[in-house]
Every structure is written in structure tokens, then in C-alpha cells.
């Protein structure tokens, strides 16, 4: 995929995190390719408020892929047609969310309990839209001795999937234990489509190491970006042989202010300030002194004054 070749370090889809405000923040520090929060097929088909919020792409929010999820192949196919009308960079199928309320009903990583059904679902969606279709999944459902990802990668390529993102844990592991990147390498070795490695990418050095150890076409960064969006800038610098420039205190303050302003503009004062507090980590060592007053601030003006 050309978009991945141009932007091999990708911001992961994270529910209640990678919304348009946070995508804009991450783009400002080097995350040129982003993926939306996942959107349910049913939500898309009824044009719910959540779907409108998550699957609407503004002109400055590109390239961005839209990620959809669901347990019913036909509903996913119909939702894919609707989502494709927004002309995202590509459409990503969530086959990796391990959260029980998602996976236990057959959506997300629930598809890994029936890999052949997952492949057939992907085939139908590839045939239904004129955009690249990608899949984000895990190395298997579990236990660790049962990891179908290598054969699954071949089968997904055979039905026209354009790229594969592999979170290198099983669904049963959730976020526990270490991600085993060797599975991304093994899958990459048997397919010609791009493979993106995901899981335990915590620092810019991890990005460089993940590329070197797996030979993958891309690296996807998730939770590490929440407290340190500069990881994209730093990884790009390391890959180019340049020295990392850590964020200054002024950059940290300005980033928190931008997050608060964006969220208040989108959600209103009370909800916007509440959501912004999950990103207090961007303040780094400054958070020790600023956390309590920022959590107590009830207006945008007070928040911006504290962050200035």
C-alpha cells in the first residue's frame, strides 16, 4: 500500500483515545498515518451519533483509515460500503479487540475462534468496496500453543486483503505478558502484502528494533503515544540517523493546552476538560505539580492559565 510506504509509523486505533483531537495532536509531532477509533457496523448503518463522531474525516485529518467491527459478516459488508463513502485511506477490520464484551459476542478477536469465517468475511468486504481493506488481529485466540496467524496471513492475502496488522499477543493474553514480535516476522515471511507489527512499542528505540527484528513494512504505536506523542517524532529521527530531541517544558505545556482546547471545542467545557485529563502524562515531570490544580480546574481559561 502506497500510503503505508510513505507513512510506516502508524497511530493505532484506541477507543476513547484516538479521536480526531488526538489524531491532530499526534500529526503535529510526526504521526502522518492514523486509524480511527473502532466503529460498530450497526452504529454505521443507523448513522448513530457515535458513528458520525468517529467515522467523519475532516480535510486536515488525512491520511486516516476507518476501523470497523462487528460479529455479522453481512452487516460488516454493508457498513463497509457506507464507511467507504468517507474516502478514508483504507478500511481496517478489527479482528483483534480482546475485551470480553466485544470478543465474547463474536466481534473483534472473537473472529479468531473461527479463522475460516474471518477470511470469508474479509473476502466479502474486499469485493464490496473500491478501497484497500486491511485486517488488524492478534496471533491467535489462545492458548499460546494454538497460534494460527501464519496460515491466516496467507489466507487473508489470498482473498485480497491489502495489509495485515498483527498485535503480537493472543486474545487470551489481553495486555498481559510480553508481545512476541517473532510472529509478525513469521507472517511477513510468507506473504507479499505489507505486515505491520504492534504490541509493546513503548519507545522510539523499540520502533527501530521492531523494524530490524521483523522486517515488517510498518510499526503501529498505541498506548505509548497517550503520554508521549513525541514518540513519532523521535522514532522518525532515529530511523534517519538523527539525534532525538526530547520535548521541552514549553512543548509539554503547549500540547496539554492544545488537547484541552480541542476537546472543549468538540465536547463542551465539562466533558472536554474531563477527557483531557487522561492525557496529563504529556506533561511529564511537570505533572507532579500540575495534576491536582488541572484536575480541579472547571473552566478552559483556568486550564490554559495553569498550562501556560
Give the domain ranges of the chain.
2-239, 249-307
Backbone angles phi, psi at 230, to 5 degrees: -65, -5
Estimate to the nearest angstrom the gap between the alpha carbon of 295 and the chain centroid: 27
State yes or no: cis peptide before 51, omega within 30 of 0.
no
- The three cell numbers of residue 49 are 451519533
Which one of 26, 34, 97, 168 is the catalytic residue? 97
Helix spans in 32-181 (H): 41-45, 49-55, 73-84, 100-103, 115-128, 149-158
Q: How far is Cα 220 from Cα 135, in angstroms, rounded to an integer?
A: 13
Instruction: Provide the total of helices (H) and of strands (E) in the chain, helices listed first.
Output: 16, 9
Q: Which residues contact 145 (CB under 8 A, 6 or more apart)?
A: none
Active site (annotated) includes residue 34: no
Packing angle between helix 149-158 and helix 182-190, nearest 10 degrees? Answer: 40
Q: Is the pLDDT of residue 279 over 80?
A: yes
Inter-CA distances, 74 with 69, 78, 79, 114, 122, Å:
12, 6, 9, 16, 11
Average pLDDT over residues 82-92: 97
pLDDT band for 5, please (50, 70, 90 cuts). confident
Length of the chain: 308
Q: Which CATH class is domain 2-239?
A: alpha beta
- pLDDT at site 1: 84
Model confidence pLDDT, tens digit, residues 89-135: 999 999 999 999 999 999 999 999 999 999 999 999 999 999 999 99
φ, ψ (nearest 5 deg) of residue 80:
-60, -40
Residue 213 has pLDDT above 90, yes or no: yes
The answer to whether the CB of 11 falls within 8 A of the CB of 221 is yes
Position 142 scores a pLDDT of 82
> Residue 71: what pLDDT?
98
Mean pLDDT of the chain: 96
What pLDDT is stored for residue 76 in this prediction?
Answer: 98
Query: Tens of pLDDT along 138-153?
Result: 999 986 566 789 999 9
pLDDT in tens, 21-79: 999 999 999 999 999 999 999 999 999 999 999 999 999 999 999 999 999 999 999 99
Report the DSSP beta bridge partners of residue 64.
Answer: 34
Averaged over 257-277, what is the pLDDT? Answer: 96
Using the CB atoms, write b or e for 106-115: b if 16+ within 10 Å: ebbbbbbeeb
Amino acid at each position: 500500500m502506497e500510503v503505508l510506504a510513505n507513512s510506516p509509523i502508524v497511530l493505532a486505533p484506541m477507543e476513547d483515545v484516538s479521536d480526531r483531537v488526538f489524531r491532530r495532536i499526534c500529526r503535529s509531532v510526526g504521526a502522518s498515518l492514523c486509524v480511527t477509533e473502532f466503529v460498530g457496523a450497526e452504529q454505521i448503518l443507523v448513522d448513530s451519533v457515535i458513528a458520525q463522531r468517529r467515522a467523519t474525516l475532516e480535510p486536515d485529518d488525512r491520511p486516516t483509515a476507518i476501523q470497523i467491527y462487528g460479529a455479522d459478516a453481512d452487516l460488516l459488508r454493508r457498513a463497509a460500503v457506507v464507511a467507504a463513502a468517507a474516502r478514508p485511506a483504507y478500511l481496517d477490520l478489527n479482528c483483534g479487540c480482546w475485551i470480553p464484551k466485544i470478543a465474547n459476542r463474536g466481534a473483534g478477536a472473537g473472529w479468531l475462534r473461527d479463522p475460516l469465517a474471518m477470511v470469508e468475511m474479509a473476502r466479502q468486504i474486499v469485493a464490496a468496496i473500491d478501497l484497500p481493506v486491511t485486517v488488524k488481529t492478534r496471533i491467535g485466540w489462545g492458548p499460546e500453543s494454538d497460534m494460527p496467524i501464519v496460515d491466516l496471513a496467507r489466507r487473508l492475502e489470498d482473498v485480497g486483503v491489502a495489509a495485515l496488522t498483527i498485535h503480537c499477543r493472543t486474545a487470551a493474553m489481553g495486555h498481559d505478558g510480553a508481545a512476541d514480535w517473532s510472529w509478525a516476522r513469521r507472517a511477513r515471511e510468507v506473504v507479499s502484502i505489507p505486515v505491520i507489527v504492534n504490541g509493546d512499542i513503548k519507545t522510539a528505540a523499540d520502533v527501530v528494533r521492531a523494524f530490524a527484528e521483523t522486517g515488517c513494512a510498518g510499526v503501529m504505536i498505541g498506548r505509548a503515544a497517550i503520554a508521549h506523542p513525541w514518540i513519532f517524532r523521535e522514532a522518525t529521527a532515529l530511523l534517519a540517523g538523527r539525534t532525538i530531541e526530547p520535548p521541552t517544558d514549553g512543548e509539554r505545556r503547549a500540547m496539554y493546552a492544545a488537547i484541552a482546547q480541542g476537546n472543549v471545542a468538540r465536547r463542551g467545557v465539562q466533558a472536554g476538560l474531563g477527557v483531557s485529563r487522561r492525557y496529563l502524562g504529556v506533561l511529564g515531570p511537570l505533572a507532579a505539580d500540575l495534576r491536582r490544580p488541572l484536575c480541579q480546574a472547571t473552566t478552559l481559561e483556568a486550564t490554559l492559565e495553569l498550562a501556560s
